[in-house]
């Protein structure tokens, strides 16, 4: 079909088939301990870590938890796509020949080493730090304690993600957790209802007395330009202040 051929041609610019380039990107994933999201055609997903990438043996290995229903549903689907992020770079590749391996107390996923990888530059990854005139907040219920309502400070935000400050006296939220309903109160004109997936939990310097949660915005309505307008206006204000004569 013409549409399918056009879509395939459009991906050519992002396709990597060089084994050297693929291994270099995999090594970056391993060094960064970046989370990898495995997805199936029925909406099943599983967040994991890449443990190894061995081009000589033509295998890649991921961490796994024994008996996880999400993982079992994914394995039964027979079609698995892996997605990971390196800063502003999105990596995507198909997994074939996936098998669950049991070895004592350790469980893993083995798959065939991919021959094709797609590398996308995320234009939406440009981040801005909000102004403190009105502290932007993210409000949602703690995923492990539904009776606890959280109001977390927004550290920075882009079209695709947001970083939140979790105070040390608030129960920790683990990487991989999905927040189905979150209210982002950025300023008087920018109030958004979003869903989040927490990808990174990073300790900040001890004086801050808290942790940075790196989150991906999911199920976004890209026709809504509200967040884009907020980011543009915030950046313009920062540029104006930086060029203002003293």
Last residue of a domain, one of 121, 150, 183: 121
Contact 212, 202 (CB under 8 A): yes
- Residue in 210, 84, 73 with CA at minimum distance from that of residue 155: 210
pLDDT category of residue 8 using cuts at 50, 70 and 90 = very low
Mean pLDDT (the chain, rounded): 82
Q: Domain containing 116: what range?
A: 2-121
88/9 same-domain check: yes
Q: Among residues of the chain, what percentage have pLDDT more than 90?
A: 32
User: For the purposes of burial, counting CB atoms within 10 Å of the CB of 233, is it exposed (0-12), middle (13-18) or buried (19 or more)?
Assistant: middle
Q: What CATH number corresponds to the domain at position 170?
A: 2.40.10.220
Q: pLDDT tens-digit profile of 73-106?
A: 788 877 889 988 876 678 899 999 988 887 666 6
115/166 same-domain check: no
Q: Which pLDDT does position 4 carry in this prediction?
A: 41
35/76 same-domain check: yes
98/189 same-domain check: no
3-state helix, strand, coil in the chain (%, to 5): 25, 45, 30
113/201 same-domain check: no
Q: Which pLDDT does position 41 carry in this prediction?
A: 81
Query: What integer is the mean pLDDT of 164-169?
Result: 93
Most confident region among 50-54, 74-78, 100-104, 219-223 by mean pLDDT: 50-54
Distance CA 5, CA 25 (A): 27
Most confident region among 16-20, 199-203, 223-227 by mean pLDDT: 16-20
190/90 same-domain check: no
66/135 same-domain check: no
Last residue of a domain, one of 104, 121, 138: 121
100/134 same-domain check: no
The answer to pTM > 0.85 is no
> What does the CA dihedral 79, 121, 222, 181 come to, rounded to 10 degrees?
70
Q: Which pLDDT does position 3 carry in this prediction?
A: 39
Tokens of 95: 């997994």
151/115 same-domain check: no
pLDDT at 166 over 90: yes
142/48 same-domain check: no
Q: For the chain, how many structural domains are there in total?
A: 2
* Phi then psi dihedrals of residue 116, to 5 deg: -135, 135
Query: What integer is the mean pLDDT of 115-134?
Result: 71
48/81 same-domain check: yes
Last residue of a domain, one of 101, 121, 141: 121
145/81 same-domain check: no
The 3-state DSSP class for residue 44 equals coil
């Amino acid at each position: 079909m013409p549409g399918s051929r056009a879509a395939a041609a459009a991906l050519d610019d992002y396709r990597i088939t060089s084994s050297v380039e693929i291994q270099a990107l995999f090594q970056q994933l391993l060094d960064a301990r970046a989370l990898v999201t495995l997805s199936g055609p029925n909406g099943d997903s599983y967040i994991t870590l890449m443990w190894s990438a061995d081009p000589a043996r033509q295998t890649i290995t991921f961490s796994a938890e024994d008996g996880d229903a999400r993982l079992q549903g994914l394995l039964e689907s027979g079609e698995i796509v892996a997605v990971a992020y390196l800063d502003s770079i999105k990596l995507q590749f198909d997994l074939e020949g996936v098998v669950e391996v049991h070895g004592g107390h350790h469980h893993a996923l083995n798959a065939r080493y991919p021959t094709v990888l797609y590398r996308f530059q995320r234009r939406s990854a440009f981040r801005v730090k909000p102004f403190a005139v009105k502290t932007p907040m993210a409000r949602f219920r703690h995923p492990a304690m539904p009776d606890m309502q959280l109001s977390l400070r927004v550290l920075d935000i882009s079209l695709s993600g947001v970083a939140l400050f979790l105070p040390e006296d608030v129960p920790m939220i683990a990487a991989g957790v999905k927040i189905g309903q979150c209210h982002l109160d950025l300023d008087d004109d920018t109030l958004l209802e979003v869903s989040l997936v927490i990808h990174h939990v990073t300790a900040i310097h001890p004086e801050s007395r808290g942790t940075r949660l790196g989150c991906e915005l999911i199920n976004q309505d890209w026709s809504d330009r509200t967040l884009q307008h907020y980011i543009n206006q915030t950046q313009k204000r920062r540029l104006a202040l930086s060029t203002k004569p003293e």
